Amino acid sequence: MADYLHGAETQRITTNTASSNGVDTAITAIIGTAPVFEVDEDYRTINEIVDINDTTAAAGYFGSTLPDYTIPSALEDFFKQGSGRIFVINVFDPSKHKASYSGTKTFVKGQITLNEKGVANLTVTKAETPAVLDTDYTFDGTVITVKSGGTLSDSDEVTINYDYADLTKLTPAEVIGGIDENGKKYGAELLYDVQSIYGVTPRIIIAPGFSNLSQVATALDIIAEKLGAVCYIDADEESSLDDIIKSRNQEGAPFNTSSERLKLLHQYVKVYNKTTNSYEYRPTSPFAAGLRANLDNSPVGGVHVSSSNHAYKGVEGVKTPVSFRLNDKSCDANKLNSYGITTIINAGGEYREWGNRNASFPQSSGIMTFESCVRAIQFFEDSIEKLTLDTIDAPLTTASKDRLLEKIRNFFNVQQSKGATLGFDVWIDPAKNPSSKLADGWLTVSYSCCPPPPMERVTYENDVTIKYLDTTGDNE
């Protein structure tokens, strides 16, 4: 008998194995500047989208953490918080953003050191006779060295000319981006192409060194709204606490916004720079983005978990001291939070993000002023749309509607088990689906959900009473 079996077997049924995990919320994007003159030409990118997953790849594409270049340090700080995936757009072009030097210098012990970075098109002339690179001298990008057997000597005075990188030539408009005369996108405009190239959408956007400019912050807000993302906006580094609070209602200031897509970050943090062998202050946004992405991916976290009261890794101090006391409404940290500004507190030597609200607070109140809730709801909406893809264009029958409802319920069941929603319901309302509308191929599915807001405030009522004195007496 061909079907005979003396034993046990398992028959796998695969009628309902569609993923219920939803879209990836930890995808991050950064727009900034990198010293690409340091890297091999094969890896040098300008106004291109680069997919980076670790610090090794970051250094290969974007160079070292030179001062004032925002991308290398931001990637370093992002990956300190944990693993992640970040799309990087460098807007610095050494061939365009440059200045020139022309003058005389004298070799000292056979060397001339140039202070500028990204030197290009170097010429060395002695008594109107051009010296030849690698014959009369060598150049390593910083030091011009006399070459033995050439026409130069160790103490010659020479005329030198060269171009060098000049970040001041970069404009905010180039960061914001657009479409050039050749029809090619550049700057932050390239964020719209991530989905078509890589099949994912950035959900966290940062532009350290530029987001503190109002025109850049406004442009990123528009992009974040279209992509269903959030954007972290840094304050100006030199602003006082009072200036930052006042800027919430100051025309033309980046913090003068009520967008639920923007998170306002007050602090600059102290970090050791291995390239310069010194300490420096850096914007918070790369730390905040890395923390947020790491929480999204964490098995004990999730998109619904607030990043507030979680520690940043790699921070050794802050530029502006912020007073903090958990029960003090007048402390600096609470005052900043009351204006919808996130700061950093020192909790026993651990520097923690402190603040749950987005920029819509305090103008608005309620669940949509919490960044974690806005992101969770966006996650629900995008995930449901994604799992609907295979249903689009199927015959509109009772069976197909039931399958769609089952998919959505399965998704929400998973999210509820993770704590991402406190409850849910999914239904088809006959009143919203008349036959005339169904005849046009249009189905309306309704659902409700509620991500948990963070426990931002706890009030204790302490009933001080003498009734417990009864237990101290000698009565039996």
Kindly list the distances between the CA atom of residue 300 and the CA atoms of 294, 295, 297, 303, 306, in Å, as whole numbers in the listed order.
10, 8, 9, 11, 12
Once rounded to an integer, what is the mean pLDDT over residues 302-311?
A: 98
Determine what percent of the chain is predicted with pLDDT higher than 90. Answer: 93
Closest CA to 304 of 374, 381, 372: 372
pLDDT digits (tens, 9 = 90+) for 358-396: 999 999 999 999 999 999 999 999 999 999 999 999 999
- Give me the chain's average pLDDT, please: 94
Model pLDDT, residue 473: 62
Model pLDDT, residue 17: 42
Once rounded to an integer, what is the mean pLDDT over residues 340-347?
A: 97
Q: Distance between CA atoms of 305 and 297, rounded to whole angstroms?
A: 11
Model pLDDT, residue 383: 96
pLDDT digits (tens, 9 = 90+) for 146-190: 999 999 999 999 999 999 999 999 999 999 999 999 999 999 999
Model pLDDT, residue 83: 87
Model pLDDT, residue 470: 83
Question: Is the pLDDT at 89 greater than 80, yes or no?
Answer: yes
347 or 11, higher pLDDT? 347
Closest CA to 230 of 211, 203, 257: 203
Once rounded to an integer, what is the mean pLDDT over residues 45-66?
A: 96
Model pLDDT, residue 8: 58
Model pLDDT, residue 22: 84
